[in-house]
Structure 1
Amino acid sequence: MSLYFILLMASGAVPLLLSFDKRLQFYKKWKYVFPSILLVALVYIIFDVNLTNRGVWGFNPDYLSGIYLFSLPLEEILFFVVIPYASIFLHESIREYFPKLELQKSWNKGLLIALILINVLIAIFNADKSYTFYIALKLAVVLLLALLLNSRITRSFFITFGVILVPFLIVNGILTGSFIDGEVVWYNNRENLGLRFFTIPIEDFAYAFSMILYNLLLIEQLKKIVSK
């Protein structure tokens, strides 16, 4: 069993088991959660294949199963299902136990506008760096969507993401070379800012934030459609 697959199993096992907790009953939200995860995963996988083929990043075969789909390791495909599920579960769990934990509406709006402008500028001034440009633009778009939809999600997600970062730092840290010999996922630093938090490219934080937020916004919209 590959190291990458072990990390995914460790990340998804507990959230999956706790989905049946009597108070959380997260399994009842699966009809919204899984369609969202699969749709967002499809978009991210398409870009992942493109960036992998262009050498923006790649994978160390020593830590993989050797099974590939669309030029990507099987583990990388599963990443877009397991990690969003675990993250959404953690966000919803925090919201269940701390429903009042959220930013004020005015602060949330101001933060959204500021982050949109910052990421647009980052994209403009780093158009020659594929990963930086790609994720800055993707983050700006999802933040703009949250603003236009007048979604309340970011009011809590800006806070819960801080908790989600704890397992993120462990898993992504290992994937990028912390605690192991070499790395599971390598990055071409000519295609990013070259800034790292320990071994994690700074862009990965925006990558995780955008992917989870896209899911949360889509889940919110699916709930509205079903309730009509």
Structure 2
Amino acid sequence: MNYIYLLINIAVIFFPLVLSFDKKVYFFSKWRFVIPAISITGVVFLVWDLLFVKLHVWSFNPDYIVGIQFFGLPLEEILFFLTVPYACIFIYECLNVYFPNNDLQKYSFSLSNLFLGLSVAMLFFGYDRWYTIINFGFLLILLSYVEYVNVKFRFMYKFYRAYLVSLIPFYIVNGFLTAIPVVMYNDKQNLGFRVGTIPFEDHFYLMGLLLMNIYLYEFFKDRYSSVKYNTEHLMV
């Protein structure tokens, strides 16, 4: 029983890892962009995770973890910030390759403004709850930066499609984690509204996690393309 969280992590990454060698997507060739994106985002979210444990926002059921800890966090929770982002970036890239036409392009900016407005509203209603205020505060800052400061490359229409698809495995994985429960939430630190057993805030925790990973993934791809372009032109 104490291997449940570890097995969930393995299940999350198994198929994306195996299918990374698909000849059309060729995802393994993009690991040079995936690894730094996941690493940087992982550090940010691990600090966030540690803070939430200290603030009693959530805790981990000892009956479903192997008991190995680093800096006060279970091994499985650390792996979560590797397995879930990898799987989500894989979904993002597969959608872009197999379905290049994306009708969300004309709606993505409006969607971003909608989520920005929602974030402001949640900060107002949940100002006294740590999970709500940190979660939506982070999303507000990150989404504002991506849409209003980042003007070099646009990817949000592709992001929203990947986010919507990622909600399918999200409901399965988080459904198990919160129903068993492996992760136990303190409802005094969230809005107390759940979709099934999943706290409302978790949907936007996923959005922030996925958005930071994909932004950095696109950023490193863009930097690599720019350096390659400049190098090739210098050699001409």
TM-score relative to the length of structure 2: 0.91
Unaligned runs of 5+ in 1: none
Q: Which residue of 1 aligns with 2:171?
A: 169
**Alignment coverage as a number of residue pairs:** 223
Q: Which residue of 2 aligns with 1:160?
A: 162
Instruction: Please tell me the residue identity of whatever aligns with 1:40.
Output: T
Aligned residue runs from structure 1 range 163-202, under 5 A:
163-177=165-179, 180=180, 183-202=181-200
2:163·2:210 contact (CA, 8 Å) conserved in 1? no
Distance 1:145 1:219 in 2: 16
Residue 92 (1) aligns with residue 93 (2): yes
Q: Which residue of 2 aligns with 1:22?
A: 23
2:105·2:158 contact (CA, 8 Å) conserved in 1? no
Instruction: Please tell me the residue identity of whatever aligns with 2:207.
Output: F
The CA deviation string for residues 183-211 of structure 1, in whole angstroms up to 9 with x for no partner, is 10000001000010100001111001110
Q: Which residue of 1 aligns with 2:138?
A: 138
Unaligned runs of 5+ in 2: 227-236
Identical aligned residues as a percent: 40
Aligned residue runs from structure 1 range 77-88, under 5 A:
77-88=78-89
SS at match of 1:36: helix
Instruction: Please tell me the residue identity of whatever aligns with 1:103.
Output: L
User: Deviating runs (4+, > 4 A) in structure 1?
Assistant: none
1:102·1:159 contact (CA, 8 Å) conserved in 2? no
Distance 2:137 2:3 in 1: 33
Distance 2:91 2:127 in 1: 34
Q: What is the root-mean-square deviation in Å for CA atoms of aligned residues? A: 1.3
Aligned residue runs from structure 1 range 1-228, under 5 A:
2-105=3-106, 107-148=107-148, 149-150=150-151, 151-177=153-179, 180=180, 183-228=181-226
Structure with greater Cα Rg: 2
1:53·1:71 contact (CA, 8 Å) conserved in 2? no
Shift in Å, 1:114: 2.3
